[in-house]
Amino acid sequence: MSKVTRRGVLAASLATPFLAPHGWAQAKWPTGPLRWVVAFAAGGAADTVARNVGLRVSEILGQQVIIDNRTGGNSIVAANAVMQAPRDGQTFLIDAANQVTNEFLIKDLPFDYQKTWIPVTRLSDFPQVLAVKSDFPAKTLEDYIAMAKAKPGVIGYGTPPAAGMAHMAGAEFQRRAGIKLIHAPFRGGADAARDIGAGAIDSVLITTNSIRPPLAAGRCRILAVTSLKRPPVFPDVPTFAEQGFPGFDLNDWNGLFAATGTPAELILRMQQACAEAITDAKVKEKLDATGAVLTANTPAEFKTWLDTQRTLLGKLIVEAGIKLE
């Protein structure tokens, strides 16, 4: 008979889902402050969306939404923090593409994403742009592709970070255009924007928000947007889809997730609160300026979209040999 240790008991308790009695949880919810564990740093795009939407959700539900930033491990640190909380609808995870890409990028994951996480709602999309430095010869996306075909493996493009959505969009662009670029991963969008502004790199794929400082200074030009439709912040910039790549739609994004075991009724009520929050004029005013496209779709719609993304990005990661660097 194996020896039972204190450490073993603790480990077992952390691995066991905390289930709340459904009737009690539904009647009392929320029972106190809600916690949104954000897998990204304070001040970033996902954090900005979480704080502004969360503030309005606090008013709607009558309980404060506390933003808890837990960075590290390609979002696994934040995920573990939520998994160790009671499954009573008081704690949620704010995550992004890691939900569908980590299983293809990281060996020996501590959990199965599809079995562990329930999609609540996709909060927002952040369209991305392909921009070139101000003295780069290409004036259009067609010119850029022609240059890349003439000089394969010479033109550089930067993204934040390696294996992020911008990297995915760049890999898909190269695959469909039949070109070869040099990828340069940056820690964040601000770093990539700084280098394109300084003329230190040929081009970048970063969000509409990140590109604004060098664009305003006249130090870069935008050639295309990764969203299917032109974003409100850049209505005059054509999309990849408009320029010979039908269906191209690869944006940065963030969404709300609950750990398996959270009552379905509470998940729906949280989604409804988020959907109401994004229609608030003050929320829209603050987030429209960042380039965020607010969504707050239903759990079913979010799941269907995630399944499509998982298939597309999983294939892309394998075929393009994308790795965490």
In angstroms, the CA 159 to CA 186 distance is: 6
In angstroms, the CA 268 to CA 264 distance is: 6
Say if residue 62's pLDDT is above 60: yes
What number is the average pLDDT over the span 310-314? 96
Q: What is the average pLDDT score of the chain?
A: 91
| Cβ contact 267:89 at 8 Å | yes
In angstroms, the CA 120 to CA 25 distance is: 17
According to DSSP, residue 225 is labeled E
CATH superfamily of 128-243: Periplasmic binding protein-like II (3.40.190.10)
**pLDDT score for 19:** 43
Phi/psi of residue 96, nearest 5 degrees: -140, -140
| Predicted confidence (pLDDT) per residue in 212-262, tens digit | 999 999 999 999 999 999 999 999 999 999 999 999 999 999 999 999 999
* CATH top-level class of 13-125+252-320: alpha beta
Would 13-125+252-320 and 128-243 be classified into the same CATH topology? yes
Instruction: Transcribe 37-51 into DSSP letters.
Output: EESS-TTSHHHHHHH
**pLDDT score for 8:** 37
| Predicted confidence (pLDDT) per residue in 11-54, tens digit | 333 343 444 444 444 568 999 999 999 999 898 889 999 999 99
In angstroms, the CA 167 to CA 92 distance is: 27
**pLDDT score for 16:** 38
Record the pTM: 0.87
| Predicted confidence (pLDDT) per residue in 136-187, tens digit | 999 999 999 999 999 999 999 999 989 999 999 999 999 999 999 999 999 8
Looking up tokens 């709607």 gives 60
Listed by start position, the domains of the chain span 13-125+252-320, 128-243
